[in-house]
Structures are given as C-alpha cells and as structure tokens.
Amino acid sequence: MDKSVKVPRIGIIGGSGLSKLLSLSDVRRVKVETPFGDPSDELILGALGKAQVAFLQRHGPGHQIPPAQINVRANIAALKHVGCTQVLSLSAVGSLREDCPPGSFVLVDQFIDRTIQREKTYFGRGLVGHVPFGDPVCKRMRTALAEVATKLKLTHVNGGTYVVMEGPQFSTRAESNLYRSWGGTVIGMTAMPEAKLAREAELCYAMVAMPTDYDCWYDSHEAVTASLVSERMERIAVQANALVEQVCAVLSAHQESCPCGCDRALDTAIMTHPSSRNPEMMVRLGFVVPRIIQSPGGGPK
Ligand SMILES: CSC[C@H]1O[C@H](OP(=O)(O)O)[C@H](O)[C@@H]1O
Ligand SMILES: Nc1ncnc2[nH]cnc12
C-alpha cells in the first residue's frame, strides 16, 4: 500500500441517502483487499477542511448491497488499514419515540442487536476473544458530536438506543410496539455488527442516526416505506454534511490515546493461550490490529 494513504484518518460510513460527502477535496479512490473479502466499495480518501477522512458507502455504489449481505468485517478492516482511528457512522432510521421526529438527529449511545445472519467477529475457533461492550459508543466522539450539533442548532437528542433488526422487510406493528416497550429510541438495519467489529478493531466508533419516519407504530403518521426514507434523507443531507464536516475538525484533534479505552480493547480480550493460537487467524487479526503481531511480547496477552 502507498504509504501516503496510511495517515491518521476519520472513517465515515454513509448509509441510505448519503452516498457522498459534499465538501470533500483532494479526492482519491483506493481499492483495499482484506483477508475478509472485499469492502462494499472503494474507499474515497480526501480532506474535509483540515481533517483527513476515508468515506465508504455502506450499501455500495447505487445501493446494491442489502443490510444482511454487507461485508462488515471487510469494511471495518479496510478503514483500519488506511489509518482510520475513529469511525463515524451514519444511518437512516425509524423513530420509536415521538420526541425524535423525522429530520432530527439521534446521537446513539446503546444498541439492541436483533440481527441473526451476519458475521459478527474477527475471532473464532483457534483464537477466542471477548471484548468489553457495555459502552459501545466512544464517549469522546459523542461529546464532540453533541457540541457541534448544539452549535449548528440541529434538533438532536444526545443518547438513545438503536434497535438493529435483520430486515430487509420493515417491522410489524406488534414488533414496533415491542421495541418501544424495551426502551428503543430508533430502529434500523445496519448498526450491527458494525459497532461490534469496530470495537474488536480497536476503533473509536460513534453512530449518528437520522430518523426518516415513525416506523409503523404511530397511527396518525405515515408508516415507513423505502421511498419515504429516500425522500426524507434528501431533505436532511445538507444538515448531515454540515454536522460531519464540523465534527471532523474536532475529531481530527483527538491525537492522544482514547480516554474510554476503545483503542486498547484487545488488552483484556484474548482467552486462547499464546501457544495455542491459530497462526492464520493471528495473521488475519493482525491485518486489523497490527500491534497484536508486531509486538508479541508487549501486545495483548
Ligand atoms: C432504505 S430503508 C432501510 C435501510 O435504510 C437504512 O440504511 P442505513 O442504515 O445504511 O442508512 C436502514 O438501516 C436500512 O438498511
Ligand atoms: N422504520 C425503519 N425500520 C428499519 N430501518 C429503517 N430505516 C429507516 N426507517 C426505518
């Protein structure tokens, strides 16, 4: 890999209706091959103001990849490989709460993972690991997002639970009401396993959820359709871009180690004895977390 590609960057994952960043300059596209297969698309490297970023369309060019078939392991591995240390993820969601209307922003701090069909870990037989996940979102990133959202006078809620459903069909009304009774704030199909894999990759991760609809629970509002999601995302794109651009300026100043410990998640994670670790799995994990093989004596035990 060209060395100039690998500088400290902010990874930005764009979801439905957010296929590009409006003010990106010095743009170049790179194809990253990973031991986990191909990411959803080439990464778009560039500068957002003074911040170096890597943008990835989650559903691929022209929205070809459905939520359950996104190769999230490759997406996260590719972002890490080009030097990303923080990942800002954007997702169009249904709102489960009256006070998070379409057009607002929810700075998510928790998830309920209801997905069933997806590859969710870089670990496995021969290399067993369990990362802490009580606080799945990086507090330093979420604080920065809240400050910028306030400065931009965006309607936003700081904190909220994102229920991740399998899809691709939207929920039944009974399910939607069940998720509300669980304390869900928003519902979408893509935040998992993204957040889990970001933690295993020792990346800081934050999720900006953008409600486009009230799912199907709210009788006096239109129930969700894919067309409604696209239409509402078009309306919010300029505000979403402003939030991303301004928060990247703050995130790019995060040079020191993460106070929440996101960048050291593997320190306490690995169960398999060093002499019993599968060498191929170590190499694959090493693509994502190079320190695990670069410093066998000093890296995670
Ligand atoms: C087009 S409606 C359903 C689809 O939109 C959201 O995608 P993303 O999270 O990538 O913005 C939602 O999670 C579903 O995947
Ligand atoms: N109601 C909804 N359910 C799941 N994903 C969504 N994305 C946007 N709206 C959604």
295 found inside a domain: no
How do beta strands 161-164 and 186-188 pair?
Answer: parallel
Pocket residues for ligand 2 (CB within 6 Å)?
A: 92-94, 165, 170, 187-189, 212-213, 215, 224, 229
Q: Residue 200: give its domain's CATH number.
A: 3.40.50.1580
297 found inside a domain: no
Question: What percentage of the chain has pLDDT greater than the value 70?
Answer: 97
Q: Is 227 annotated as a binding residue?
A: no
Query: What is the tally of structural domains in the chain?
Result: 1
The reported pLDDT for the residue numbered 298 is: 43
106 found inside a domain: yes
**Contact, 202 vs 267, CB < 8 A?**
no
Q: Is 162 annotated as a binding residue?
A: no
217 found inside a domain: yes
Low-confidence residues in the chain, pLDDT < 70: 295-301
- Convert the pLDDT of each residue in 93-144 to its tens digit: 999 999 999 999 999 999 999 999 999 999 999 999 999 999 999 999 999 9
Domain span at 18? 10-290
Q: Which residues, at least 6 apart from 238, have a Cβ–Cβ distance to it below 8 Å?
A: 22
Give distance in angstroms: CA of 129 to centre of ligand 2: 32
ipTM, 2 dp = 0.99
Pocket residues for ligand 1 (CB within 6 Å)?
A: 15-16, 58-59, 67, 91-92, 188-190, 226, 229
Q: What are phi and psi of 51, to 5 degrees?
A: -85, 135
300 found inside a domain: no
